[in-house]
Structures are given as structure tokens and as C-alpha cells.
């Protein structure tokens, strides 16, 4: 499987729903998880990524290719990341953050979690509970008391867009 000297090595990645993707090794090793596999010699053949589905992996690979094509210019990389994440919905972002965590890609992890925070910033408490699947374990009295304590933080909250 070893590539000839001078030609770029290509890796094959497999998602948990059995989709196969080809990606240049130089781009794929942005993922520390993949880099470790390559260094340990486990990258011959197909690399199974059991925690990432095909749709998310395709997106991550687009990012890997895009960001590795940019020379060392932090400003340009940042604007690429901003543009890459600008049209992603909340669910996609959540899938991406899980994938970035599993693949150990700190720059993507940082950018996606910042984007999620940006989306959440002006949302209501109810919106956050629904999106994160969190059960309200306050009694109505307790919740009212916590809310009363931080009343000013409920100014300027957006109307929920998920109903």
C-alpha cells in the first residue's frame, strides 16, 4: 500500500455508516487521532472511524482539505473557518463538535464550540433545554427564585425559532 516517493499519500477513511472517503494524508493528519494511527502503521487499508457518520465525515474532510490548502496565515485560516461554519445549523454543529473531539482536532473543536456558543448567546432557557435534551429538575418555585436573582439577564432574549 505504501506510496511511491514523491506522490502524495492518500488515506481511505470509513464512517460508521460504511461510507468510504479518500483524503490526502497531509490533510487527514490534522486529526491527531488519524496521525497516531498513521504513525503506528495502522493506516494501511481502510481507517474505520466508528464515532463519525458519513454526512459529518464528508463535512470534516471538506474542512481538512480547505484549511490545509491555506499557507501559515492565521488570519486567512480564521476567515476560512468562519465561512465554513456560517451556514451550519445547530444539529450539524453538534455532530461536528463530537467528531472534532473524537478526531482530536483542536482548531476545529475550538471554532465549532465558539460557533455553538454564538448561536446560544441570546437564546431562551427553554431553547437550550430542548436542544441539549436537558430535563428541568427545578420546582417552579426554585426556578422562579433563580430567575429572580438574575432578572436582568432575561432582557434581550430572542424569540425561540425551533417551534
Does residue number 143 form part of the binding site for another protein (CB under 8 A)?
Answer: yes
* Per-residue CA distances from 116 to 30, 60, 79, 81, 121 (Å): 21, 16, 17, 13, 9
User: Given the rule CB under 8 A, which of 2-10, 25-33, 60-68, 145-153 is the region that contacts another protein?
Assistant: 145-153
Footprint of another protein on residues 116-135 (CB under 8 A)?
A: 116-118, 120-122, 125, 128-129, 131-135
For residues 9 and 24, the answer to whether their CB atoms sit within 8 Å is yes
In sequence order, what are the residues at sequence separation of 6 or more whose Cβ sits closer than 8 angstroms to the Cβ of residue 116? 90, 93, 94, 97
Does residue number 153 form part of the binding site for another protein (CB under 8 A)?
Answer: yes
As a whole number of angstroms, the distance between CA 69 and CA 79 comes to: 13
Does residue number 113 form part of the binding site for another protein (CB under 8 A)?
Answer: yes
Out of 75, 87, 141, 161, name the contact with another protein by CB under 8 A: 75
As a whole number of angstroms, the distance between CA 136 and CA 42 comes to: 45
Q: How many CB atoms lie within 10 A of CB 118?
A: 11
User: Given the rule CB under 8 A, which of 42-50, 64-72, 80-88, 140-148 is the region that contacts another protein?
Assistant: 140-148
Q: How many CB atoms lie within 10 A of CB 11?
A: 22
Does residue number 98 form part of the binding site for another protein (CB under 8 A)?
Answer: yes
Out of 150, 159, 161, 163, name the contact with another protein by CB under 8 A: 150
The least distance separating another protein from the CB of residue 78, rounded to whole angstroms, comes to 9
Name the E strands within the chain: 10-14, 20-24, 46-48
Footprint of another protein on this chain (CB under 8 A)?
74-75, 91, 94-95, 97-98, 101, 109, 113-114, 116-118, 120-122, 125, 128-129, 131-138, 143, 146-147, 150, 152-154, 157
Amino acid at each position: 500500500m505504501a506510496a511511491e516517493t514523491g506522490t502524495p499519500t492518500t488515506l481511505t477513511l470509513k464512517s460508521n455508516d460504511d461510507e468510504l472517503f479518500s483524503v490526502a494524508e497531509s490533510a487527514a493528519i490534522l486529526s491527531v487521532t488519524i496521525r497516531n494511527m498513521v504513525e503506528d502503521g495502522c493506516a494501511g487499508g481502510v481507517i474505520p472511524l466508528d464515532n463519525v457518520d458519513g454526512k459529518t465525515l464528508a463535512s470534516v474532510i471538506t474542512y481538512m482539505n480547505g484549511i490545509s490548502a491555506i499557507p501559515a496565515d492565521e488570519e486567512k485560516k480564521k476567515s476560512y473557518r468562519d465561512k465554513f461554519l456560517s451556514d451550519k445549523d445547530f444539529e450539524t454543529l453538534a455532530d461536528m463538535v463530537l467528531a472534532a473531539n473524537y478526531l482530536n482536532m483542536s482548531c476545529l473543536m475550538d471554532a465549532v464550540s465558539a460557533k455553538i456558543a454564538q448561536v446560544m448567546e441570546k437564546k431562551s432557557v427553554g431553547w437550550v433545554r430542548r436542544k441539549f435534551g436537558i430535563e428541568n429538575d427545578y420546582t417552579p418555585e426554585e426556578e422562579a427564585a433563580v430567575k429572580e436573582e438574575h432578572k436582568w439577564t432575561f432582557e434581550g432574549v430572542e424569540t425561540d425559532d425551533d417551534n
